[in-house]
Amino acid sequence: MKILITGSEGQVGRCLVKQLHSMTDVKYLALNKHDLDITDPKEVDKTVNEFKPDVIINAAAYTAVDQAEENIELAFSINSDGPKNLAIAANHVGALMLHISTDYVFSGSKEGIYCELDSPSPQNVYGKSKFSGEREVAKHCPRHIILRTSWVFSEYGNNFVKSILRLSKEKNELSIVCDQFGGPTCAGDISNALLVIAKSLLVKSNLEKNKIEFGVYHYSGFPHVSWYEFASYIIEVEIEKQLINKSIHLNSISSLEFPTKASRPKNSKLDCQKIESVFPIKMCNWKSRLKNINEYMRK
């Protein structure tokens, strides 16, 4: 199996490279934004035609949610035009296209959990650009999987877990939003899910027997919590691991008390029953992924 990865320096990209490095039956080409400009169709076409992958995993994205409100053209270029170029190239060489999307394609106003059949209604530029990317992938590469996820964290890059670890060392009191809910998701679990999907799709008998359908799937962590509850658990583990020797006072505040340029969905809970019924994949328990919280301090 030959896999081409874009966004190799992002959270999911780095986890993919780490996992693939130990897999002797897979040849992979991991590219960052300097190696490949996914917004350039000619460059994408040339790279894909030369490597001829069986699978393209697009882990590249413009994820600066608030900055996207001002950098609209850039956000759409990376999150919509980029996936379009990759999907066209994937279809041309007969490759599978696996594309990572987000809970932000939903408004967050639904009572209950969002399933794949719920209609997207993004409320900010980032969400709109990601939903546009979903449509481009579906339009240009019939053999595709769009994986929507939420609240991604890992040992790499910038994320909520690392922010809380940093702030808890700097301050004795933190104010955290309590009225936005979702499923924290470990990037390592996302990368593992993508590789399981890729392998499953390359088994022809699965497709011939209609065991697997292309399209949209949800994958996120469990249990669902608020940002406040997520932060509380991070600090609890931090104290347990003796990474700090002081108590941290957490203030529970509403999203109205913490205004941002881009509106965030209050409900980001994703229903993952579909992916569990189709692939040998289980929802990740994000709490178990914080047992190695020491690693989050080193990268």
Active centre residues (catalytic): 126
Note the residue count of the chain: 299
- What 3-state class would DSSP assign to 186? strand
Residue whose C-alpha is closest to residue 144's, from 102, 91, 196, 191: 91
Q: What are the contacts of 283-287 at 24+ separation with CB within 8 A? A: 283/183, 283/219, 283/220, 283/221, 283/222, 284/185, 284/186, 284/189, 284/221, 284/222, 285/221, 285/222, 285/223, 286/153, 286/183, 286/184, 286/185, 286/186, 286/221, 286/222, 287/223, 287/233
Beta bridge partners of 29: 4
Backbone angles phi, psi at 51, to 5 degrees: -85, -30
Measured distance CA(63)–CA(68) in Å, rounded: 8
H runs (alpha helix) in 94-243: 125-140, 160-170, 187-201, 204-208, 227-240
Pairing of strands 225-226, 181-182: antiparallel
